[in-house]
C-alpha cells in the first residue's frame, strides 16, 4: 500500500463486514463508514461540497464555513477545513453528543448553540438552519454549504460509496440505509441503480420523523430523520426509494449495545437502527439474497449516551425484548 500524502485522501474505500444470520439464507453486509478520518460517512459529502464550492469560486482562502449540523457533518467539515485553511463554525443544538462537539473543537472548529428551550426528543433543525443563515449574512467572507439542499451532498455518494459497494459485492439485491438529509441514501441509490436497476432501496427513519409520515413526534436518534416543522430536504429523492420503515429509539440503541457486547462492533445510533431493521428484513425473506446496509458512524461518539447505563435508564430506553430477538437471529 502506498503512503497517503493528505488525511483527506483517506476518505472513502471503507471496509465491508459480513454478519452471519441464523434464521435465513440471506447474506447481510455492513458498509462500515466509521473508518473514514472523521469517523463517519459525512466526510465524503463534506469534501465534495467544499471541493465544488471552491471550483465555483464561492470559497476563497481565509473564508469561514458555517454549517448547521447534528455533529457528523460538522466533524467532516472541520477535518477538511483544517487541511484547506478555512475557519469553521458549527451551529448545533442540545441533540449533538458531547463527544462530537469535543471532536469539532479538537480540529479547530467553533461551536454555536441555537437559542431556545427544547425537550429531550426535540430536534431544532429549523432554528439551526436559520441561525446559520443569519451568521452568514453577518460574518464577512463566510459561506454556508446548506447540506440539506446542496446537491453536492448527494453527488458525493453517487460515484464513491455506490461504486465501492458495486465493486465489492456482486449482485446486491437490497440497499438499506438511514435517511436524514437524504444525501447518502439517495446518492448511493442513484449510483447503484445506474449499474443495477433491479436493486431495491429501503429507507429507515426514526419513529417520530416526518420524511414518510407527516404526523411526527420527538425522538432521540441523532443525525437521522426529519423533525416536525422542518421542510423535507431537497436531497431526499423519493423516486429512488422503493420502500421505507420505522425504528424506535429502544430498537436502535439496544442494538448498538448488543453488537458492542456480543460482536465487538461499536456503532452509532442511526447505524443501530438500520441494522436492527436489516436483520428483521433479512430474517423474514425466503430463498437467498444479498442485503447491504450503510452504517453511518461508530459508537465512539455516544459513550456518554447510548453506552451509558444511567442515560439509558433516565430515558427509559432499555428493552430486553430487543436483546432476545437479536440473540435468536444473529
Residue 327: pLDDT band with limits 50, 70, 90: very high
Catalytic residues: 42
Mean pLDDT of 54-78: 95
Burial of residue 113 (CB within 10 Å: 0-12, 13-18, 19+) is: middle
How much is the pLDDT for 88?
98
How much is the pLDDT for 97?
86
DSSP code of residue 272: H
Mean pLDDT of 305-311: 98
3-state helix, strand and coil shares in percent for the chain, rounded to the nearest 5: 40, 15, 40
Residue 221 has pLDDT above 70, yes or no: yes
Residue-wise pLDDT for 161-170, tens only, equals 999 999 999 8
3-state secondary structure of 247: strand
pTM: 0.95
Residue 117 has pLDDT above 80, yes or no: no
* CA contacts within 13 A on the Cβ side of 24: 23
Residue 121: pLDDT band with limits 50, 70, 90: low
Burial of residue 92 (CB within 10 Å: 0-12, 13-18, 19+) is: buried
Lowest mean pLDDT, pick from 22-36, 89-103, 229-243, 310-324: 89-103
Distance, CA of 245 to CA of 176 (rounded, Å): 10
Percent of the chain clearing pLDDT 90 (strictly above): 88
How much is the pLDDT for 120?
66
Q: Which three cell numbers stand for residue 40?
A: 463517519
* Shared fold status for 7-35+154-324 and 42-144: yes
The contacts of residue 2 (CB under 8 Å, 6+ apart) are: none
Q: For domain 7-35+154-324, say whether CATH 2.170.150.20 is its number.
A: no
Residue 39 has pLDDT above 90, yes or no: yes
How much is the pLDDT for 122?
66
Mean pLDDT of 102-128: 85
Domain ranges of the chain: 7-35+154-324, 42-144
Q: Which three cell numbers stand for residue 141?
A: 467572507
Residue 210 has pLDDT above 80, yes or no: yes
Residue 245 neighbours by CB distance under 10 Å: 18
Residue 92 has pLDDT above 70, yes or no: yes
Residue 40 has pLDDT above 80, yes or no: yes
Please give the radius of gyration of the chain, using alpha carbons only, rounded to the nearest integer. 19
Q: Which CATH class is domain 42-144?
A: alpha beta
Average pLDDT, rounded, for the chain: 95
Residue 11 neighbours by CB distance under 10 Å: 23
The contacts of residue 170 (CB under 8 Å, 6+ apart) are: none
How much is the pLDDT for 308?
98
Residue 274 has pLDDT above 70, yes or no: yes
Mean pLDDT of 88-108: 93
For residues 294 and 188, the answer to whether their CB atoms sit within 8 Å is: yes
How much is the pLDDT for 214?
80
Terminal-residue alpha carbon distance, the chain: 34
Distance, CA of 23 to CA of 170 (rounded, Å): 23
Residue 110 has pLDDT above 90, yes or no: yes
Amino acid at each position: 500500500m502506498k503512503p497517503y500524502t493528505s488525511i483527506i485522501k483517506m476518505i472513502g474505500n471503507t471496509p465491508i463486514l459480513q454478519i452471519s444470520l441464523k434464521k435465513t439464507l440471506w447474506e447481510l453486509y455492513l458498509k462500515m463508514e466509521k473508518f473514514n478520518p472523521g469517523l463517519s460517512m459525512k466526510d465524503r459529502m463534506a469534501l465534495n461540497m467544499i471541493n465544488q464550492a471552491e471550483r465555483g469560486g464561492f470559497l476563497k482562502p481565509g473564508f469561514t464555513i458555517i454549517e448547521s449540523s447534528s455533529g457528523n457533518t460538522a466533524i467532516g467539515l472541520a477535518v477538511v477545513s483544517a487541511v484547506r485553511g478555512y475557519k469553521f463554525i458549527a451551529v448545533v443544538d442540545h441533540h449533538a453528543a458531547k463527544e462530537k462537539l469535543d471532536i469539532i473543537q479538537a480540529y479547530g472548529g467553533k461551536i454555536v448553540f441555537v437559542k431556545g428551550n427544547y425537550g429531550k426528543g426535540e430536534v431544532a433543525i429549523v432554528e439551526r438552519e436559520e441561525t446559520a443563515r443569519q451568521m452568514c449574512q453577518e460574518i464577512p467572507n463566510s459561506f454556508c454549504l446548506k447540506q440539506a439542499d446542496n446537491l453536492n451532498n448527494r453527488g458525493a455518494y453517487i460515484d464513491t460509496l455506490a461504486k465501492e459497494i458495486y465493486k465489492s459485492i456482486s449482485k446486491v439485491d437490497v440497499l438499506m440505509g438511514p435517511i436524514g438529509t437524504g444525501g447518502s441514501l439517495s446518492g448511493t441509490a442513484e449510483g447503484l441503480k445506474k449499474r443495477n436497476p433491479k436493486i431495491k432501496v429501503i429507507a429507515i427513519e426514526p419513529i417520530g420523523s416526518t420524511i414518510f409520515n407527516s404526523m411526527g413526534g420527538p425522538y432521540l436518534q441523532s443525525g437521522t430523520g426529519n423533525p416536525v416543522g422542518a421542510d423535507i430536504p431537497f436531497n431526499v429523492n423519493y423516486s429512488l426509494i422503493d420502500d421505507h420503515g420505522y425504528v424506535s429509539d429502544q430498537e436502535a440503541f439496544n442494538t448498538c449495545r448488543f453488537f458492542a457486547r456480543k460482536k465487538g462492533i461499536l456503532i452509532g445510533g442511526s447505524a443501530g437502527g438500520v441494522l436492527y431493521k436489516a436483520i428483521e428484513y433479512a430474517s423474514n425473506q425466503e430463498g437467498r439474497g444479498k442485503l447491504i446496509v450503510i452504517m453511518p458512524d461508530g459508537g465512539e461518539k455516544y459513550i456518554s449516551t447510548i453506552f451509558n447505563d444511567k442515560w439509558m435508564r433516565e430515558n427509559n430506553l432499555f428493552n430486553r425484548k430487543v436483546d432476545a430477538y437479536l440473540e435468536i437471529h444473529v
